[in-house]
Amino acid sequence: MTIEKFRTLFAESIAVKQRLLTGDHLAPLAVMGGRIAQAVQRGNKVMLCGNGGSAADAQHLAAELLIRLRPDRNRKPVPALALAQDTSTLTACGNDFGYDQIFSRVLSAIGKPGDILLGISTSGNSVNVINAFKVARASQIATFAFLGGNGGELLPFSDEAFLVPSSDTGRIQEAHITAGHALMEDVEDRLLAAGYLVI
């Protein structure tokens, strides 16, 4: 790959993020941050799910809440977990019930009314995430989504959705992790300001 190709890819990533700075693209993140902070203060938790790179993002963001996001913010942990559990759970569910039930099965076991579910899907058409959102809705669990393109089939099941205006999977994922870090900072700041996480 030439240096020019690298420059093109970086420029495309920057262009997507610049589009997100226009209009109301970022407004759902502020709503999500407020609702997550309120849920945590009530004693609820945040659950996250996604496939492939989005599964890695879900685990990454859960770790930011559980441990800490910024080294200068020493604080209590925020209850969060990614629904992509250990390989034994994943393969057992895939074998016994089907891959489409991997997230909804775990959610049914540990989700409680008032919890938050954040689903990450570049296409919005991941059936296992959609199934988890359906279970969440029936269980009075708020559904937040990080999506791309037109939002896909997941959009109607989302209480709030951050939608990246791109059809390129790589560019969408890059915007998702930027948004994820911004969201986690917002949640952390809100909880610290409320005195909830202060050690």
Query: Which CATH code is given to the segment(s) 3-193?
Result: 3.40.50.10490
Residue 28 has pLDDT above 80, yes or no: yes
Residue-wise pLDDT tens digits, 5-16: 999 999 999 999
Instruction: State the average pLDDT for the chain.
Output: 95
Residue-wise pLDDT tens digits, 70-99: 888 788 899 999 999 889 999 999 999 999
Residue-wise pLDDT tens digits, 105-122: 999 999 999 999 999 999
Query: For the chain, what is the HEC assignment?
Result: CCHHHHHHHHHHHHHHHHHHCCCCCCHHHHHHHHHHHHHHHCCCCEEEEECCHHHHHHHHHHHHHHCCCCCCCCECCCCEEECCCCHHHHHHHHHHCCHHHHHHHHHHHHCCCCCEEEEECCCCCCHHHHHHHHHHHHCCCEEEEEEECCCHHHHHHCCEEEEECCCCHHHHHHHHHHHHHHHHHHHHHHHHHCCCCEC
Domain ranges of the chain: 3-193
Residue 162 has pLDDT above 80, yes or no: yes
